[in-house]
A and B are shown apart, each in its own frame.
Chain A
């Protein structure tokens, strides 16, 4: 606490002026999705995995206008500092992806399984935006085969078992030549996905 602060003296003031969120609305489809957004690696990458699922609302209906972003470490657990998430060259792994849901509420990313970036279990950070969602929601997708690490994970270990499972992908084995993981997102109701608050 003796370190000099980097912040200007107006900290209290500026902190209070945090700009609020507003819904993404229904009409981002021609603006935010981009070519290659869902493909963090090409499908023929030797370690490519399929990371997919369906987003549903409190009535169990698919949400056909959600936008998902994922952000993850590479296979060694490192976070990329490389440019090129928007203009992919097909070889540089940046760790960021963006995918809009289909009219069936479905999304599909092609990526690699991350390594653990810290002391906990590896996961993909998932951010959900949609019409009707006034403020985006964060969640994490963990992997069932890492269950030995889940018992000590700072987040999973705090959750009751029935809710913890909403953060763990269903492993579907090899589908179309790649390991497939399903991560369904239920915004509300039965098996409601655990959403996380990292707010400072």
Chain B
């Protein structure tokens, strides 16, 4: 393995260097067609990304080859850590006030609700958020691409959801940025979200995107969810009623967690 000139985690399936966008796009389309054929043959749409998704090269050596072992959650999995206002300062939901000056970029608010699999609000739980700045650069030291850092923007926020599962962040719109999955690879603009439910089984880390991004079709991370309707659930929608005059543009994004399984009633599942 040490003789392999290509780092395994970035390896090309053919082993001949980074792929072109056209090659990646062809792989993406082939998998989407396969997923659509399965649905046409009666399978359920794929609600989650494929773990083995070769167009996203880093997944090649990082997905299990065995099927996951399906088990009933025990008490450990049916509850979740409790987070609260002693853990998170209310000011942490505003990413634009963390430094002396105002960050550069399009100021926006992202608001929505966190719901469980039955549509009930997930109350008083932790949401963490992180993102690139308006130029598409992360503060993270491994991000060394030549876009400017913004001394007035870190890009980290936290909030505890309210009584109705609601949340709101004030931030700036992140920029798209290049990465090295393949030649001329660019990530659509996105915000990372980390969420807890009332059961640990509901844990979720995901990304929120913005409407009509021209990079969607080219991005193997967004496309790792092979079902078009499922991946569209990651798009926050512009909501003019959330825009604040003279201040910010508003986006709405509701997040639906799985389960918790403890509340499922099998007889009604059959109707879904």
**Interface residue ranges, A against B (CB under 8 Å):** 1, 5-8, 10-32, 57-61, 63, 65, 69, 71-73, 79-87, 94-96, 117-118, 120, 123, 125, 127, 129-138, 154-155, 158-159, 163, 187-189, 192-200
Contacts and interface: CB of A to CB of B under 8 A. Distances in A.
Nearest to B222: A22
Contacts of A192: 64-66
A199 B48 CA distance: 11
B86 A87 contact: yes
Contacts of A199: 70, 201, 258-259, 261
B82 A81 contact: yes
* Interface of A (DSSP majority class): loop
Given A22-B221, A187-B62, A187-B63, A17 B81 contact: no
Contacts of A11: 118-119, 268, 272
Contact of A134 (B59, B72, B88, B264): B59
Nearest to A79: B79
B22 interface: no
B206 A195 contact: no
B8 A59 contact: yes
A127 B204 CA distance: 11
B67 to A, nearest CB: 8
B87 A133 contact: no
16 contacts: A8-B118, A11-B119, A18-B117, A21-B205, A27-B143, A31-B128, A59-B61, A61-B1, A117-B75, A125-B200, A131-B9, A134-B51, A135-B51, A136-B203, A196-B69, A200-B261
Contacts of B14: none
A57 B113 CA distance: 36
Most buried by B among A23, A63, A130, A133: A23
Interface stretch (B23-31, B35-43, B100-108, B223-231): B223-231
A37 to B, nearest CB: 12
B261 A198 contact: yes
Given A14-B118, A15-B117, A20 B225 contact: yes
Interface residues of B, number: 91
Nearest to A3: B265
Contacts of B268: 5, 11
Contacts of B265: 1, 5
Interface in B75-124: 75-77, 79-84, 86-88, 115, 117-120
B70 A117 contact: no
Contacts of A58: 8, 60-62, 65
A21 B61 contact: no
B185 interface: no
A198 B82 contact: no
Interface string B121-154: 0000010111010000011111100000000001
B204 to A, nearest CB: 6
Contacts of A24: 192, 194, 205
B17 interface: no
B194 A27 contact: no
